[in-house]
Chains A and B, each alone.
Chain A
């Protein structure tokens, strides 16, 4: 609490914080300090110059809290202060009003402007409380009276990392590992050093990498995965390799986390208490109730089975999800054709036969831009979209196979792709 007080005192007057601290503890202290001062955290999906510019339009007083002296984000910067241990007198744990606006999270939207979603402190807490209950972290019969240690491979700024490491830690009184281990060997050593019971908060990309690395995996008491669904087979392999349960979480930026499943045993997801799904006539599922602030359309194709259970049948056609970063083809296309010199262009999401060894499929793009070269175009895109969406490959063509009404039929695009893309070797 004395760290929170110190950081709270160091924050400037602006009402909106972009907290980019990469250290999970500093991020958490920064977030709590913002709450204490009544400030709102902004959690955009990426920090490209274009998105930062949009944030300043959304909240002109936004400032950036960073722990990196090389941080080059174009906002007024506040550096995370040196923490020098306990301050005399300390600070009582403050009561934060559940109606207080704690954060805005953003999706990329489809028209070039990120869309904000309000998160009040109360809703966030309820979401994480229900999640902790589902994950069995509220009262561990195996380790009564002992709190967990949370190791996360996801950044605290990502909605999943925010909910399942930062807030989960605050809610359950668990210890948080400040590191964000990256390579399989790093993850194993951070895990091995974490007191048990320990929880690994991770993603399919890192879990695949851990299995493929062929190194001894430390005993772990719970594995949690989100950002993209795991296959039944991979889930079983992970459970066998770590000798523990693996639970998957399903959710979205808009709704937060809403369901869990133990993938090695069932394909069905179970909704969290109070949350319900309704199918509209057009087949789209809407979530409401529980911690979900208002009825919200889900961006995946869902099949409601029985009671609070459902099946996930992939994302809607327009959406792209690469390693937990979500965007839409409409948004990416808008950014592409907004670049000076681009006459026409479209992104294309290949099928899963193009996935890499960590299970990631990249987007390709076809572009008509006679006066641009690939380097110039890629640099222009890098300023606008998150690097994971940079087209690979970027293919220059004379024209796109548009039909008489100017539309790009999927079939024609697939044929174009078949001529230009090769599957990975």
Chain B
């Protein structure tokens, strides 16, 4: 974590994985202007293809939001990539484990 990051600008760390899931769902809905509310995204439903129906442009948009908000650069060549977008829960777990801010 960079030393010069001001503590007041850091988002408050969510109390639990449930809160982070909700926060990520909110980000997705906002970034993609989706027609559903964050609460309507089932944590275990697929994000890609069927399920929420996201496509590769959406995944790129989410990657941008995730890099801005949590300081994570997603990589397609990492083994985890396929798992990350399997569901909201997978994505949130990945963020929780790798966030730098």
Q: Is B1 an interface residue (CB 8 A)?
A: no
Residues A209 and B60 in contact in the complex (CB < 8 Å), given A356-B32, A394-B35, A422-B33? yes
Min Cβ gap B60→A in Å is 5
Interface residues of B in 64-87 (CB under 8 A from A): 64, 67-68, 73-77
Q: How far is the CA of A362 from the CA of B31 in the complex (A)?
A: 13
Whether A424 pairs with B50 at a CB distance below 8 angstroms is: no
Residues of A close to B56: CB separation below 8 A: 182
Residues of A close to B39: CB separation below 8 A: none
Residues of A close to B64: CB separation below 8 A: 184, 209, 212-213, 357-358
Residues of A close to B2: CB separation below 8 A: none
Residues of B close to A184: CB separation below 8 A: 63-64, 67, 73
Residues of A close to B35: CB separation below 8 A: 392-394
Whether A205 pairs with B31 at a CB distance below 8 angstroms is: no
Q: Which of A185, A205, A360, A388 has the largest number of chain B CB atoms within 10 A? A: A185
Partner of A186, one of B57, B61, B68, B76: B76
Min Cβ gap A103→B in Å is 24
Residue of A nearest to B81 (CB): A183
Whether A388 pairs with B60 at a CB distance below 8 angstroms is: no
Whether A205 pairs with B30 at a CB distance below 8 angstroms is: no
Q: Is A126 an interface residue (CB 8 A)?
A: no
Q: How far is the CA of A423 from the CA of B30 in the complex (A)?
A: 11
Residue-wise, chain A 407-425 has the 8 Å CB interface mask toward B (1 for contact) of: 0000000000000001111
Residues of A close to B77: CB separation below 8 A: 186, 189
Q: How far is the CA of A424 from the CA of B57 in the complex (A)?
A: 16
Residues of B close to A183: CB separation below 8 A: 60, 63, 73-76
Q: How far is the CA of A206 from the CA of B57 in the complex (A)?
A: 9
Min Cβ gap B9→A in Å is 15
Residue of B nearest to A180 (CB): B76
Interface residues of A in 174-199 (CB under 8 A from B): 181-186, 189
Residues of A close to B59: CB separation below 8 A: 182
Residues of B close to A422: CB separation below 8 A: 33
Residues A357 and B61 in contact in the complex (CB < 8 Å), given A378-B53, A379-B50, A424-B33? yes
Interface residues of B in 27-43 (CB under 8 A from A): 30-35
Residues of A close to B68: CB separation below 8 A: 212, 214
Whether B57 pairs with A358 at a CB distance below 8 angstroms is: yes
Whether A213 pairs with B67 at a CB distance below 8 angstroms is: yes
Q: How far is the CA of A12 from the CA of B17 in the complex (A)?
A: 53
Q: Is B55 an interface residue (CB 8 A)?
A: yes
Min Cβ gap A214→B in Å is 7
Residues A185 and B33 in contact in the complex (CB < 8 Å), given A213-B64, A379-B50? no
Partner of A358, one of B30, B61, B67, B74: B61
Q: Is A215 an interface residue (CB 8 A)?
A: yes
Whether A388 pairs with B55 at a CB distance below 8 angstroms is: yes
Residue of B nearest to A214 (CB): B67
Whether B60 pairs with A205 at a CB distance below 8 angstroms is: yes
Q: Is A390 an interface residue (CB 8 A)?
A: yes
Q: How far is the CA of A205 from the CA of B49 in the complex (A)?
A: 20
Whether B60 pairs with A185 at a CB distance below 8 angstroms is: no
Whether B31 pairs with A182 at a CB distance below 8 angstroms is: no
Residues A181 and B61 in contact in the complex (CB < 8 Å), given A388-B55, A424-B33, A425-B33? no
Residue of B nearest to A179 (CB): B77
Min Cβ gap B95→A in Å is 15
Q: Is A101 an interface residue (CB 8 A)?
A: no
Residues of B close to A393: CB separation below 8 A: 35
Q: Is A354 an interface residue (CB 8 A)?
A: yes
Residues of A close to B57: CB separation below 8 A: 205, 322-323, 356, 358, 360, 388
Q: Which of A183, A184, A390 has the largest number of chain B CB atoms within 10 A? A: A183
Whether A358 pairs with B55 at a CB distance below 8 angstroms is: no
Min Cβ gap A231→B in Å is 18
Q: Is A387 an interface residue (CB 8 A)?
A: yes
Residues of A close to B67: CB separation below 8 A: 184, 213-214
User: 9 shortest A-B CB distances, which residue pairs?
Assistant: A393-B35, A185-B73, A424-B33, A387-B55, A182-B76, A183-B74, A186-B76, A183-B63, A425-B30
Apart from A358-B60, A392-B33, what 8 extra A-B contacts exist at CB < 8 Å? A182-B59, A184-B67, A215-B73, A357-B64, A358-B57, A362-B33, A394-B35, A425-B30
A-B contact pairs, 8 of them (CB 8 A): A183-B75, A186-B77, A209-B64, A213-B73, A322-B57, A356-B57, A390-B55, A394-B35
**Residues in A lying within 8 Å of B, measured CB to CB:** 181-186, 189, 205-206, 209, 212-215, 322-323, 354, 356-358, 360, 362, 378-379, 382, 387-388, 390, 392-394, 422-425
